[in-house]
């Protein structure tokens, strides 16, 4: 899945990623940003995500553009072993586009 961040140069854009847990046990993930422009993206609520059984949660991903060229990174969610259950590793492609420049 690709998440696109579109906005003005130097603006901060926030996107939410919705995660669902269909199992009867809690899932825990470590979130990691990797790639050429990973430093331009951030996870304001921290790198650990816990999803309660049969629930969903969302995590915020922020992007602040520093350059006119498109930025790219990957959000990796790596499952932690909790209570005998192991979730799958999730990956999201993060891409940006600067639409305009404000003085």
Dihedral sign for Cα 78, 7, 13, 65, please: positive
pLDDT of residue 88: 87
Task: State the Cα–Cα distance between residues 98 and 9, nearest whole angstrom.
Answer: 6
**Would you state the pLDDT for residue 83?**
67
For the segment 35-94, what is each residue's pLDDT rounded down to a tens digit?
Answer: 999 999 999 999 999 999 899 999 999 999 999 999 999 999 999 876 666 788 999 999
Reported as a single tens digit per residue, the pLDDT across 3-31 is 999 999 999 999 999 999 988 888 899 99
The full set of domain ranges for the chain reads: 2-100
CA pair distance 38, 75, nearest whole angstrom: 9
Distance of CA 100 to the CA centre of its chain: 24
- Cα–Cα distance measured from residue 34 to residue 73, given in angstroms and rounded to the nearest whole number: 6
Look at domain 2-100 and name its CATH class.
mainly beta
User: Parallel, antiparallel, or unpaired for β 2-8 and 90-100?
Assistant: parallel
Q: How many CA atoms lie within 13 A of 69 on its CB side?
A: 4
């Amino acid at each position: 899945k690709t998440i696109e961040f579109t906005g003005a140069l130097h603006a901060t854009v926030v996107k939410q990623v919705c995660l669902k847990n269909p199992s009867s046990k809690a899932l825990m993930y470590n979130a990691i940003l990797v790639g050429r422009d990973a430093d331009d993206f951030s996870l304001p609520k921290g790198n650990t995500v816990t999803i309660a059984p049969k629930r969903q949660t969302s995590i915020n991903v922020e992007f602040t553009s520093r350059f006119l060229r498109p930025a790219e990174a990957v959000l990796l969610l790596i499952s932690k072993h909790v209570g005998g259950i192991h979730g799958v590793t999730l990956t999201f492609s993060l891409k940006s586009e600067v639409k305009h420049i404000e003085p």
